[in-house]
């Protein structure tokens, strides 16, 4: 009996213990990521999250617009209108709850800061929310060293006596373009990086916020990655040094010998998307800076204005989940934002990464994306750097990098003082060389500004081909292009010469309706190479009637074209047409040039004719007095 009692007591005790075991922690509700759920597990624990809302506007009509300004305005208006509608109720409810939030209208998302578990659950159960994910980590990563960070190699701060122009600037043939009068004037570069020491002697004269007397940081600087919980900085700063160095390679020139930048007349603006000495980013931070480049704001992130948008973004970073950058484990996380910039006529230049020499080491956005122009690194002998990532893209399987540029022992600005300079190596140093080349090209051929597709084509097909003995992604290194060098070493002079060979249109500024007038198209080969299989073409507006052409052209729909067997250096080809119009209003004449080896035609500088309606003349009747 005693044994029976002990057995029963033990069984009851076991049942009791089993009944009172702590329940298994609940899974996160549908739509809330596991990491966001875990980040708010403790009592009083808060986290920053990024909320995705449904729907996205169609931006494709922007691609048919003619100018960069038109494209940018269309994209910004479409994105903001959609976000204001889709996010209206959530923004109002967040404000009612007193929560701090920042709309990412470029991707139809909202960053909500410092929320607890109940708030997270509330967000995840809303019908106007698709997904809630953790935004960023701000602790526990400070011990990463830059050598472990694939974004850049550590700077070498060694005494250095500069030449008149840095070797990398010479290697991409920038000085020859300067001699032609094109130094990047009229172009704005957005450096999206760790920040910039804006008052550095080689950078300050080129900062858009500096007019030579006063400084204005509104619409020229935004801090999307404040350091260690500090509020966003209203003044450009760089506690890492990386962004100052990369900005210098695009525009740097102190006027007295430190010619460290490819395009010294270009204006720069900046957005910090990586925080702290180690440079920690996140998907939200990266997107916030893309949004700033599209429609800059005041330093508080308010009043976005596409009239102040950048033309090119220079991106020397990788969205790297191995470095603790939240959201970067989703390979497609940055496609929406980069495609929006592309549709808006803003070129995204990105470093390939420093994970070479292995093949298939282009593994992180934005380098992996078709929407980005990806840059590998070479040394002063035009040999691929051992660290430069090789293609193909791990996301798309396409050839990457697109081109290569100098990236070994590159001298540029450092943030230690307004006169500090240093050497750094990495594809981070190569990408800003190409951003500067784009600025030179667009200053020489303003009609290409905002035409990202044609610009990329010109840079690829005018690059100096380079080959290697390694085969990556099934493409031999002896092929062109290949996954080591892409299409080759970027060449500013060759790209500008090709663009300047594009046709020039001459037409009268105004004529009367139904009055025939001549449109003359000419193209001069300013390169040292004979062009074969030359085709000049022109799009005829539907309001025009073609009367004749000389020489006789081939008409296909509303396009007339002329084919010539070749065009020798310094030679000119001319074609003309006589047209008339029955309707009043402006008519734009656009011509294109194509030749063997160029996959798409290059647009020339257009001309506009205003058709004037007949003016009725009323005679004056003079009445004599009396």
Q: What is the DSSP string of 70-133?
A: HHHHHHHHHHHHHHHHHHHHHHHHHHHTT-EEEEETTTTEEEEEEE-HHHHHHHHT-TT-SEEE
- Helix, strand or coil for residue 432? helix
Cβ–Cβ < 8 Å for 595, 534:
yes
Cα–Cα dist 522/173, whole Å:
27
Nearest to 174 by CA among 500, 449, 402, 438: 438
For residues 382 and 370, what is the distance between their CA atoms, to the nearest angstrom? 25
Sign of CA dihedral 253, 259, 261, 265: positive
**Residue 173 backbone phi and psi in degrees, to 5:** 60, 35
Q: How many helices (H) and strands (E) does the chain have?
A: 12, 24
CA trace torsion 140, 141, 143, 146 (10° rounding): 180
Burial class (CB in 10 A: 0-12, 13-18, 19+), 492: buried
CA distance 216 to 488: 40
Beta bridge partners of residue 190, listed in sequence order = 269, 313
Contacts for 220 with CB less than 8 Å, ≥ 6 apart? 207, 208, 209, 269, 270, 296, 308
Active site residues: 193, 242, 428
Sign of the C-alpha dihedral computed for residues 558, 606, 448 and 601 taken in this order? positive
DSSP-derived letter for residue 449 is T
The Cα 504–Cα 525 span in angstroms is 12
Indicate the DSSP class of residue 535. E
325 phi, psi to nearest 5 deg: -90, 110
- Separation of alpha carbons 607 and 517, rounded Å: 13
* CA separation for the pair 372, 369 (Å, rounded): 5
With beta carbons less than 8 A apart as the criterion, state whether 393 and 368 touch. Answer: yes
Cβ proximity of 560 and 537 under 8 Å: yes
> Would you mind telling me the total number of residues written for the chain in this entry?
626
């Amino acid at each position: 009996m005693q044994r029976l009692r002990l057995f029963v007591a033990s069984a009851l005790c076991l049942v009791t213990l089993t009944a009172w075991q702590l329940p298994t922690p609940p899974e996160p509700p549908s739509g809330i990521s596991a990491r966001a759920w875990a980040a708010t597990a403790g009592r009083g624990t808060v986290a920053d999250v990024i909320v995705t809302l449904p729907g996205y506007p169609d931006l494709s009509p922007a691609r048919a617009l003619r100018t960069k300004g038109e494209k940018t305005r269309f994209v910004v208006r479409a994105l903001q209108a959609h976000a204001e509608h889709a996010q209206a109720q959530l923004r109002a409810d967040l404000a009612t709850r007193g929560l701090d939030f920042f709309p990412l209208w470029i991707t139809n998302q909202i960053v909500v800061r410092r929320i607890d578990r109940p708030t997270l659950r509330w967000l995840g159960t809303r019908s106007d929310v698709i997904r809630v994910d953790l935004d960023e980590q701000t602790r526990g990563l400070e011990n990463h060293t830059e050598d472990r960070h694939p974004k850049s190699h550590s700077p070498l701060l060694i005494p250095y006596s500069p030449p008149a122009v840095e070797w990398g600037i010479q290697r991409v043939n920038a000085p020859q373009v300067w001699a032609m009068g094109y130094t990047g004037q009229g172009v704005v570069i957005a450096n999206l990086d760790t920040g910039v020491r804006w008052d550095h002697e080689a950078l300050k004269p080129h900062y858009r916020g500096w007019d030579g007397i006063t400084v204005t940081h509104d619409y020229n600087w935004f801090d999307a990655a404040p350091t260690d919980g500090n509020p966003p900085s209203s003044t450009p700063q760089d506690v890492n040094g990386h962004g100052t160095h990369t900005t210098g390679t695009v525009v740097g020139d102190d006027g007295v010998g430190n010619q460290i930048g490819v395009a010294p007349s270009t204006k720069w603006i900046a957005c910090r998307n990586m925080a702290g000495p180690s440079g920690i980013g996140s998907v939200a931070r990266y997107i916030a800076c893309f949004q700033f480049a599209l429609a800059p704001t005041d330093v508080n992130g308010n009043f976005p204005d596409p009239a102040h948008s950048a033309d090119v973004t220079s991106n020397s970073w990788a969205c790297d989940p191995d470095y603790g950058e939240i959201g970067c484990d989703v390979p497609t996380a940055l496609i929406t934002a980069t495609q929006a910039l592309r549709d808006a006529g803003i070129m995204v230049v990105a470093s390939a990464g420093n994970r070479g020499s292995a093949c298939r080491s282009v593994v992180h956005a934005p380098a992996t994306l078709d929407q980005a122009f990806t840059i590998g690194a070479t040394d002063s002998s035009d040999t691929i750097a051992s660290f430069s990532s090789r293609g193909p893209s791990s996301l798309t399987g396409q050839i990457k990098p697109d081109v290569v540029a100098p990236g070994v022992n590159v001298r540029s600005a450092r943030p230690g003082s307004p006169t500090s300079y240093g050497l750094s190596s990495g594809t981070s140093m190569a990408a800003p060389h190409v951003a500067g080349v784009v600025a030179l090209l667009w200053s020489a051929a303003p009609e290409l500004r905002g035409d990202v597709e044609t610009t990329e084509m010109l840079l690829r097909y005018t690059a100096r081909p380079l080959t290697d003995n390694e085969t990556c992604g099934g493409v031999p290194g002896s092929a062109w292009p290949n996954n080591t060098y892409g299409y080759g070493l970027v060449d500013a002079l060759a790209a500008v010469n090709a663009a300047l060979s594009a046709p020039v249109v001459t037409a009268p500024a105004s004529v009367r309706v139904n009055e025939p007038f001549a449109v003359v198209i000419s193209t001069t080969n300013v390169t040292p190479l004979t062009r074969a299989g030359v085709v000049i073409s022109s799009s005829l507006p539907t309001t025009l009637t073609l009367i004749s052409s000389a020489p006789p052209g081939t008409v296909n729909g509303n396009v007339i074209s002329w084919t010539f067997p070749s065009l020798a250096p310094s030679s000119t080809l001319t074609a003309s047409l006589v047209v008339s119009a029955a309707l009043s209003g402006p008519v734009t004449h656009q011509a294109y040039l194509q030749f063997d080896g160029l996959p798409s035609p290059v647009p020339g500088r257009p001309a506009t004719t205003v058709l004037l309606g007949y003016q009725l003349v009323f005679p004056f009747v003079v009445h004599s007095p009396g």
